[in-house]
Amino acid sequence: MNMKDTLRQMKEEALEKINEVGADLEQIRVRYLGKKGELTAVLRGMGQLSAEERPVVGQIANEVRANIEEALTRRAEEMKAKALEMKLKAEKLDVTMPGKAPAMGHIHPLTLVQRDLEDIFMGMGFSIVEGPEVEYDYYNFQALNIPPEHPARDTQDTFYITDKILLRSQTSPVQARTMEKQKPPIRIISPGRVYRSDPVDATHSPLFHQLEGLVVDKGITMGDLRGTLDVFAKKEFGEDTRVRFRPHHFPFTEPSAEVDISCFSCGGKGCKLCKGEGWIEILGAGMVHPHVLEMGNIDPNEYSGFAFGFGIERIAMLKYHIDDMRLLYENDVRFLKQF
């Protein structure tokens, strides 16, 4: 085969290879145009050619080189464009695809009730204060007129850290702490956890929640207590709700009352919820005992006050017809989803 044909054939072969799917362009370039490549080999043999033939073959060789180079560049650009197109296709975002909704959390019924109560009392000008759950015996009992050995302690057996430090059995110690720190007028509520060494059953738990209320000012009467609880009962249980006071005893209030509301399920006729009574016991309340005011450095001749306290679980259970307290702490999503 003469040199011209070799060159032409080389060109055909090279162009074909360049256009093959998945061609390795660098390898092709080295094979044909590299220092040890096929074209270079042909050029080396040019010495044997005649003087007339040399420029002709030289020109063809230059054309072949140019053709192959051009084809390599064009193909490289093509491959680059193709790769980009594939990449864009792969990365394309379909904004019409249905989204994956995150599993949203949910407010616990106890929190719902607590927030309700906070809103109601804040609406009447109360502010919210918090007290420690690990409490001194002094605030939990003594400052509330319950000295050591007082029988009222038996009803609120709790967990002791030391002789003097315990898990608070009620939110009432926040009354004593507030009076020590703040001069009247005082108008606070204090929600939070309390503890008692009760075994767990449908209506008892060693941990539960209470909400305490305290108002101290000049000229506060039981009428103010009554009016405040009336507003609370209507807002929380419905506008037709009536409130009833029954005489009771708490060491830190005098007089004291247990407070019932008319049954919001039957309106007072008697039903399963109120156990046929027409009334539901809801909280304890009374006028702050003068001795408790004194221990809080407030002069009972100048000031008077009222206090109340209730269980948040009890309200949640009544309101949502929950018949077992344990459901509130098990955190079974199937239960919690309902509120």
For residue 282 the two structure tokens come to: 């809801």
Give percent helix, percent strand, percent coil of the chain, each to the nearest 5: 45, 20, 35
> From the CB of 288, what's the least distance to ligand DAH, in Å?
8
Contacts of 66 (CB under 8 A, 6+ apart): none
Site for ligand DAH in 98-117 (CB under 6 A): none
Instruction: Name which of 212 and 236 has its Cβ closer to ligand DAH.
Output: 212
For residue 136 the two structure tokens come to: 């001194």
Q: Check residue 296 for interaction with ligand DAH (CB under 6 A).
A: no
Q: Check residue 37 for interaction with ligand DAH (CB under 6 A).
A: no
> From the CB of 163, what's the least distance to ligand DAH, in Å?
22
Q: Check residue 284 for interaction with ligand DAH (CB under 6 A).
A: yes
> From the CB of 145, what's the least distance to ligand DAH, in Å?
11
Using alpha carbons only, give the angle 326, 330, 334 rounded to the nearest 5 degrees. Answer: 110
Site for ligand DAH in 175-214 (CB under 6 A): 212
Q: Check residue 312 for interaction with ligand DAH (CB under 6 A).
A: no
Site for ligand DAH in 47-86 (CB under 6 A): none
**Residues β-bridged to residue 218:** none
Count of other CB atoms within 10 angstroms of residue 199: 7
**The one segment of 57-65, 66-74, 98-106, 278-286 that binds ligand DAH by CB under 6 A:** 278-286
**The one segment of 23-31, 231-239, 269-277, 283-291 that binds ligand DAH by CB under 6 A:** 283-291
**Residues β-bridged to residue 216:** 186, 305
The H or E element that residue 312 is part of is helix 312-320
Helix residue spans in 48-144 (DSSP H)? 53-91, 109-123, 137-140
- Tell me which residue of 26, 236, 31, 18 sits closest to 123, measured CA to CA: 236
Q: Residue count at the site for ligand DAH (CB under 6 A)?
A: 11
Amino acid at site 322: I
Buried b (16+ CB within 10 A) or exposed e, 16-54: ebbeeeebeeeebbebbbeeebbbeebbeeeeeeeeeee
Q: Which of 286, 289, 312, 328 binds ligand DAH (CB under 6 A)?
A: 286
> From the CB of 285, what's the least distance to ligand DAH, in Å?
5
Q: Name the DSSP letter for residue 49.
A: S
Each residue 227-256 as x (binds ligand DAH by CB under 6 A) or -, in order, gives -----------------------x--x---
**The one segment of 33-41, 45-53, 133-141, 284-292 that binds ligand DAH by CB under 6 A:** 284-292
Instruction: Name which of 32 and 252 has its Cβ closer to ligand DAH.
Output: 252
**The one segment of 20-28, 110-118, 303-311, 322-330 that binds ligand DAH by CB under 6 A:** 303-311
- Tell me which residue of 49, 64, 47 sits closest to 2, measured CA to CA: 49
Q: Check residue 170 for interaction with ligand DAH (CB under 6 A).
A: yes
Q: Which of 174, 309, 312, 328 binds ligand DAH (CB under 6 A)?
A: 309
> From the CB of 105, what's the least distance to ligand DAH, in Å?
31
What distance in Å separates the CA atoms of residue 68 and residue 15, rounded to the nearest whole number?
Answer: 7
Cα distance from N-terminal residue to C-terminal residue, the chain: 93
> From the CB of 331, what's the least distance to ligand DAH, in Å?
25
Q: Which of 68, 295, 307, 328 binds ligand DAH (CB under 6 A)?
A: 307
- Tell me which residue of 171, 259, 250 sits closest to 207, measured CA to CA: 171
Where does this chain bind ligand DAH (CB under 6 A)?
170, 172, 212, 250, 253, 284-286, 307-309
